[in-house]
Amino acid sequence: MDLHLSDETIAIRDMVRDFSKKEIEPIASKVDKDDFFPKEIFKKMGHLGILGLTVSEEYGGAGLDYLTHGVVLEEISYFSGSIGLSYGAHSNLVVDNLFRNANKNQREEYLPDLISGDKIGSLCLTEPSGGSDALGSMKTTYRKEGDNFIINGSKTFITNAPVADTFLVYSKNYDRYSAFILKRSDGVETPKWIEKMGMRGSPTGEVYFNELKIPLNRLLKNEGDGKKIIYEGLNAERAVLAFGPLGIARRALDEAIEYSQQREQFGTKIGNFQLIQEKLAYMFSKLEAVRLLAYEAAMMTKERIVDPSYAASSIMLASETATQIAKDALQIFGGYGYTSDFPLERLLRDAILYEIGAGTTEIRKIVIAKAVQKRNTR
């Protein structure tokens, strides 16, 4: 398996890096401090052509692979973890999901506006009484009445919900789970913007459906296909989102290296101290090892290789590694790292989310263990 990036992916990576440095870096601190969502950034991303990377050109996408998608997420997350998270939720959890599962009419109606950035997407699965047991504890229900579906229930911890226009919603009817496309104009209520420790500026909220009526053509695939849609999308979700913490970790390492070459103590640069060198050596080695796993998992997803252990391992190790690297970088900065004058404390707060969101570290370990046991059963 060739883990080198193609010339096309490298060109896109460099383009997004330049864009992020120009458009995202100047507002990253404000986004975090004010919990501010820069909606215009999504329109600029749409013009750049990165909101539908894995969607075919027929619907306005780029027709590229999950590795390219992940590389783009890493570059955005390097400059702002929160904007990267909202980008990943929009472009992968919603846009890529719709492309894989929607019919032709649904694709033609919803994908263009999402890919252009004119509309923001949000996937709604987690519920107040749920969490890791998303399906078993699901209480959002639907029923069919004539030419309509009626949906009742609520979701929580939903990324992009407060600003979204298009919602991909999972609901159940007795023991059947189904997926629906909803519009804010249908009567979707998002009354609460949830305050968070990190990933501030990536809007997280509650979503309510009260006798919400939608036509039958808003159903994704067939009734009862919801569980299949969720599980088939998990590999792509984990493989792509693993690049978010990669970007955060890389930024923390770069900040630590630069600081160690500037800060002086006891008459010398602190980068000359062996304990600092040890930290930097481990930080670099862990980051590059996780990057190789992330590349492999993304390539396997591209080839539709059905083995959840690689994608789950990728995001598990990437998230844990990002937290540790951000913590070590903050330690190298000492007291300055604990202040808001430098981005280290923001990087640490942002990194921690990836150990909780998109499936906790504990759930990922279960997925990995079951997959490797199944694969090695004799």
Catalytic residue list: 237
Distances in Å between the alpha carbon of 283 and those of 258, 269, 277, 336?
14, 19, 10, 19
Say how far apart CA 250 and CA 5 lie, in whole Å: 18
Is residue 105 within 8 A of residue 50, CB to CB? The reply is no
Can you spell out the DSSP letters for 297-342? HHHHHHTT---HHHHHHHHHHHHHHHHHHHHHHHHHHGGGGGSTTS
How does DSSP classify residue 161?
Answer: G
Say how far apart CA 269 and CA 348 lie, in whole Å: 24
81 Ramachandran zone, left/alpha/beta (phi>0; psi -120 to 50) = alpha
Kind plus residue range of the DSSP H or E element containing 172: strand 166-173
Cα 11 → chain centroid: 22
Tell me the residue type at 95.
Answer: V
What residue spans of 156-273 are helical by DSSP H?
Answer: 226-241, 243-260
Decide: residue 90, CB within 10 A, 0-12 exposed, 13-18 middle, 19+ buried: buried
What residue spans of the chain are helical by DSSP H?
Answer: 7-23, 28-34, 39-48, 66-79, 81-88, 97-101, 104-116, 226-241, 243-260, 274-302, 308-333, 344-353, 361-375
Cα 272 → chain centroid: 37
Is residue 249 within 8 A of residue 325, CB to CB? The reply is yes
Strand partners, 153: 209
Tell me the residue type at 41.
Answer: I
